[in-house]
Structure 1
């Protein structure tokens, strides 16, 4: 666990591996390496990512995990500000070039970073469970998760452990995120997260891998298809038997898919 001061935030991050290819990893909402990627960063698990070929920097976004105080900002600019802060983090760590992988809420930050820094500092991007435009069905399903009693008990326990067994903190952060970010998503981004596709997705200059679980309760397939159809040099890989947490369910396929993509696009 390490901290770097960026603006008003003490940004917490964890480093895994010592390989030549640097990868910024951005967890989902309120997420940490412990809550979201316990398999991927556990050397005892067969799904652990390769620490010899890669160096992974897993960030805890401002206001979440241990990147406090202050509390997380709200409003339509927060994800774009996250993107700038994450790039500044990598600069301060000495990485002039790197790849980025984001899951769920983190994938929104990752795709913004790909648009801003792809083709210069960012070599390649991977997004999983990404929602770039509002739909009523997605918002309804995500709102269902507001009550953490609806969560899978094992998943909830991961977040509880990541927050020092403070379940009240987990619940407060999650409900605040749902109420302020998800409920207002359509109003914040009426033309999509990156604006009109001709100025947003179609201007992304780095190779991009889009991962989607066909059983995703929250994010519809059309979200992934929209990104893959509009981002140049992009590819969609579907996991037919998985949902939103596909990296937990098919960790070996996830590992192979991600590592092969990173190796192919960092030569």
Structure 2
């Protein structure tokens, strides 16, 4: 039964990657690229729009502006929002350095993200975090309450369970993925580097299962004071449904929006619906 469950999860994950391929096609030419020195690293970012509200997009594991947020950089309202996408250190075009995963890698990403926005001149901003980027957003919001306006997270978790660990291990070996699954990341990293960094990510995220209750940032959730929207696809094969319920329970005043047909990459597959949901929440 367990093997059948993991096979089903892997098949669903394959479909997710196909959507990432479609979502990472070239987008609007009004996006301006740049680099900013932050905490000793040259971070790559892309900025678009001229609205009063600044919004930072935080990508998932090994993710980048190129792979993760094409529809958001293209279509979020540019009159209302100034949107910044970034590649965390060691990801995408923020290389060197080569990515590593020390025990505090989420905290490091959160500090880099906040310091990047401050360096770009934004005194207050909102966070849109997907998957690992959602975890980073949770930490950033908890540790910088005066800087974060609002936050949207999806496909994210505050702890690692044994069920999560089984899912991670089922997708550890990228040689077992179809070529179509591997394509987006191999385009960014090359085949050898992608395989190595992905396995290092699995090891890094799996480490948290050995902490009390598998905590990544459980203890920080009560410190989050900004309005928070949690979005979850009910067909997400990567993040089980008990994770958004946990976030809802422990982030004061947060709201949960379920998308019945949504999977892990719901912001790509249902980008129009997702973007409208985000715009409405940020402007409410």
Give the TM-score, by structure 1 length.
0.88
Counterparts in 2 of 1:260 and 1:184: CA distance versus 1, 3 Å: same
Match of 1:220, SS state, is coil
Counterparts in 2 of 1:58 and 1:97: CA distance versus 1, 3 Å: same
Q: Are 2:63 and 2:92, in contact at CA under 8 Å, matched by a contact in 1? A: yes
Matched, 1:38 2:70: yes
Count of residues paired in the alignment:
252
Match of 2:185, SS state, is helix
Distance (Å, rounded) in 1 between the aligned partners of 2:57 and 2:116: 12
| Structure 1: runs of 5+ lacking an equivalent | 43-47
* The structure with more helix, counted as a fraction of residues: 2
| Structure 2: runs of 5+ lacking an equivalent | 1-32
Match of 1:41, SS state, is helix
Distance (Å, rounded) in 2 between the aligned partners of 1:24 and 1:151: 31
Matched, 1:216 2:236: yes
Distance (Å, rounded) in 1 between the aligned partners of 2:250 and 2:218: 13
Choose which of 9, 15, 21 in structure 1 pairs with 2:53: 21
Choose which of 145, 150, 153 in structure 2 pairs with 1:127: 153
Following superposition, the deviation at residue 243 of structure 1 comes to 1.1
Matched, 1:63 2:90: yes
Mapping of residues 36-115 of structure 1, within 5 Å: 36-42=68-74, 48-115=75-142
Structure 2 equivalent of residue 186 of structure 1: 209
Q: Are 1:76 and 1:188, in contact at CA under 8 Å, matched by a contact in 2? A: no
Distance (Å, rounded) in 1 between the aligned partners of 2:195 and 2:92: 13
Choose which of 141, 145, 166 in structure 2 pairs with 1:140: 166
Counterparts in 2 of 1:161 and 1:52: CA distance versus 1, 3 Å: farther
Counterparts in 2 of 1:142 and 1:191: CA distance versus 1, 3 Å: closer
Following superposition, the deviation at residue 140 of structure 1 comes to 0.9
Counterparts in 2 of 1:257 and 1:155: CA distance versus 1, 3 Å: farther
Q: Are 2:134 and 2:153, in contact at CA under 8 Å, matched by a contact in 1? A: yes
Give the TM-score, by structure 2 length.
0.83
